[in-house]
């Protein structure tokens, strides 16, 4: 890394790296795919919705990147192994994994069936573990390190009064997985970190940005806890993602990076 003083931007260079992004049809997954595509990486987008997947692939290609879609969900060991196999078939290797797939299910604990709780845990925790395992095997075989970026949330650190027992528990588990794998793979050159946002602009949160009485009330209450005084934008996640996916973060592992405007600092 001796060249960084004369060319600091080289620390964030991911050109030619092969990035696998699960949940690529979702707000953060699509953003991650396009950010890394625009930075010159080769992109493998993964999602269960073929139409949405094709759209993200087209957007990545429009940015000048090589991009392919894998119409699968990381729902089992076999599926996760197949995702990595397809990535290697297309581009010969895997350098970056971004696990952006997951779900929430909001209900008070007394009103939530155990099956619903386990479904959230599977989508957010087990599938993150399975994808990290599958991609990690390949990275270890390659012997050149790698980057694993998991998707956490401020709710992994803070509770929520409105029926988030499954979601909060799952994101706390993602944080634990991040720390454990950061330690386990510490000397291999594979870094494992997580991004933890709060509310950022997406199709699911668009209503919070609107000029309605309900949105104003909810937004005001939320922003009273955010030192930056505004809701998040997709660009607020782009920088942390590129940092965690590039050699700029080679000495940064097992950490949760809160892209939250200071929400969890208070």
The fraction of the chain above a pLDDT of 90, given in percent, is: 88
Kind plus residue range of the DSSP H or E element containing 99: strand 96-99
Residue 208 lies in a domain: no
Q: What residues are annotated to the active site?
A: 167
Angle subtended at Cα 240 by Cα 237 and Cα 244, rounded to the nearest 5 degrees: 135
Residue 123 lies in a domain: yes
- pLDDT, residue 234, reads 86
- pLDDT, residue 98, reads 98
Rounded Cα gap, residues 236 and 222, in angstroms: 18
Residue 55 lies in a domain: yes
pLDDT at 18 over 70: yes
Residue 266 lies in a domain: no
- pLDDT, residue 160, reads 83
pLDDT at 1 over 70: no
pLDDT at 257 over 90: yes
Residue 154 contacts residue 198 (beta carbons within 8 Å): yes
Residue for token pair 């990035």: 19
Partnered with residue 70 across adjacent β-strands are 46
pLDDT at 161 over 90: no
Residue 181 lies in a domain: yes
- pLDDT, residue 29, reads 95
Domain count, the chain: 1
Residue 205 lies in a domain: no
Residue 58 lies in a domain: yes
Rounded Cα gap, residues 94 and 23, in angstroms: 17
Give the CATH number for residue 250.
3.40.50.720
Q: Residue 132 is encoded by which pair of tokens?
A: 């990290």
Residue for token pair 């479904």: 119
- pLDDT, residue 2, reads 64
Mean pLDDT value across residues 148-160: 92
Residue 192 contacts residue 181 (beta carbons within 8 Å): yes
- Kindly report the pTM of this predicted structure: 0.95
Mean pLDDT value across residues 59-86: 98
Residue 223 lies in a domain: no
Residue of higher predicted confidence among 53 and 201: 53
Which residue segment(s) compose the domain that 15 sits in? 2-200+234-261
Rounded Cα gap, residues 153 and 195, in angstroms: 7
pLDDT at 87 over 60: yes
The fraction of the chain above a pLDDT of 70, given in percent, is: 99
Mean pLDDT value across residues 33-44: 98
- pLDDT one-digit tens code per residue, 89-148: 999 999 999 999 999 999 999 999 999 999 999 999 999 999 999 999 999 999 999 999
Measured CA to CA in angstroms, residue 47 lies from 28, 102, 159, 259 at distances of 12, 11, 29, 24
Residue 150: pLDDT band with limits 50, 70, 90: very high
How confident is the prediction for the chain on average, in pLDDT?
Answer: 95
- pLDDT, residue 266, reads 77
- pLDDT one-digit tens code per residue, 199-243: 888 888 888 999 999 999 999 998 999 999 999 998 899 999 999
């Amino acid at each position: 890394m001796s060249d960084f003083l004369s060319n600091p931007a080289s620390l964030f260079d991911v050109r030619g790296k092969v990035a696998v992004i699960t949940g690529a049809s979702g707000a953060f997954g699509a953003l991650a795919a396009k950010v890394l595509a625009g930075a010159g990486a080769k992109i493998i987008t993964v999602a269960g919705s073929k139409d949405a997947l094709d759209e993200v692939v087209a957007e990545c290609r429009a940015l000048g990147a090589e991009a392919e879609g894998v119409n699968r969900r990381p729902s089992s060991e076999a599926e996760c192994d197949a995702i990595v196999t397809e990535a290697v078939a297309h581009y010969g290797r895997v350098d970056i994994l971004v696990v952006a797939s997951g779900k929430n299910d909001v209900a008070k604990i007394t009103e939530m069936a155990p099956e619903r709780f386990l479904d959230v845990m599977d989508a957010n925790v087990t599938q993150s573990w399975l994808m990290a395992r599958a991609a990690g095997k390949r990275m270890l075989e390659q012997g050149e390190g790698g980057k694993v970026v998991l998707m956490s949330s401020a709710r992994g650190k803070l509770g929520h009064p409105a029926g988030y027992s499954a979601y909060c528990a799952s994101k706390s588990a993602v944080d634990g997985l991040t720390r454990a794998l950061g330690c386990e793979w510490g000397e291999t050159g594979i870094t494992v970190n997580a991004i933890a946002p709060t509310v950022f602009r997406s199709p699911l949160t668009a209503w919070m940005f609107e000029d309605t009485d309900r949105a104003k009330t909810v937004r005001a209450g939320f922003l009273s806890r955010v030192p930056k005084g505004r809701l998040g934008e997709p660009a607020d996640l782009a920088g942390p993602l590129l940092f965690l996916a590039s050699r700029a973060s080679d000495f940064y592992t097992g950490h949760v990076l809160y892209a939250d405007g200071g929400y969890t600092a208070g």
